[in-house]
Amino acid sequence: MGSKKKEIALQVNISTQELWEEMLSSKGLTVVDVYQGWCGPCKPMVSLFQKMRIEAGLDLLHFALAEADCLDVLEKYRGKCEPTFLFYAGGELVAVVRGANAPLLQKTIREQLEAEKKVLAEGCERKVIRDEPLSDEDGCLSHDKDIGDDEDVGECRTGQQASSGKTCTLAIIKPDAVVHGKTDEIIMKIHEAGFDILANEERTMTEAEMRLFYQHKAGEEAFEKLVHHMCSGPSHLLILTRPDPEGTEDVITAWRTLMGPCDPDVARREQPDSLRAQFGTEMPFNAVHGSQDREDASRELALLFPTFKFSDELLEASLCHGAEGAVGPTEARCFPEDTD
């Protein structure tokens, strides 16, 4: 019974070709989280998968993990900084979702599960697709059209228009929000606001990291308190991107708008729907951090995700190791008083 409970609660870890073939032969729909060893599986989605498993039952819905470096069939997914979820039915690929997009994943699971039920019960034809990273042929289809099939999902840019990449910024869910159990709620609000999370790493920062991170505040009275707070417990370090086809707001400005003013009291007065208004208490316990502008985004991402390589415009995943819209250079800060 113990092993049965574990199987219900957790995704099956596929580490060999034999296990891959066995899992894909399972009756029903199998959702595979393809991840990189340097960033690990997409943990924020586990609660959604558990909910969907309870909703759908055990017979026709299965979840699995597969490290890209461990399986030859996933070779072309290696080095990609964006989470990828492959949907298999009858051993065939039927859908792909790129990015940690909970609403899209939930919608896709329900749609594909219903389609597979019709295949099994009525003999309907199964709609099979090809995903570009798994095929060198033209005309490949991907379920998630918001990302774009011709994009290189291993690339993202910091604060500048990118024709073949993504605009990225750093977000931190601070220790005060993590210790009070607000991480999942904040991540859900990030998704609801239209952001995609390309990487999500939970760890406790070191004093050396935070002194370097906040070196521009070293002369301020609150510097020591801020450093101590940021080292006091686990934080969630996120790399965010956000589709913006209209070119109205770059990801850095959009994220700072969602955060709200630095001081939670000010945020509650001026922007009550912001994250700091809802989850912050008082300075420096304001729940979240965001990069000020393009230059800060590049510096902060290079410091906290050191195994990513930067050029003047491009942020790309290193092949050996690493973490996890229309835009323009950010010329003005959303909240000038916010240096945190």
77: buried, middle or exposed (CB in 10 Å: 19+, 13-18, 0-12)?
A: buried
Whether 321 is catalytic:
no
Handedness of CA 215, 232, 318, 294 (dihedral sign): negative
Q: What is the separation, in whole angstroms, between the first and last Cα of the chain? A: 49
- Among 191, 229, 236, 289, the active-site one is 289
- DSSP per-residue codes, 198-236: EEEEEEPPPHHHHHHHTGGGTTSTTHHHHHHHHTSS-EE
Cβ partners under 8 Å of residue 194, min gap 6: 242, 243, 254
> Are 50 and 63 a contacting pair, CB within 8 Å?
no
SS (H, E, C) 232-281: CCCEEEEEEECCCCCCCCCHHHHHHHHHCCCCHHHHHHHCCCCHHHHHCC
Residues 6+ apart with CB under 8 A from 17: 71, 72, 73
**Number of separate helices (H) and strands (E) present in the chain:** 12, 12
Active-site residue list: 289
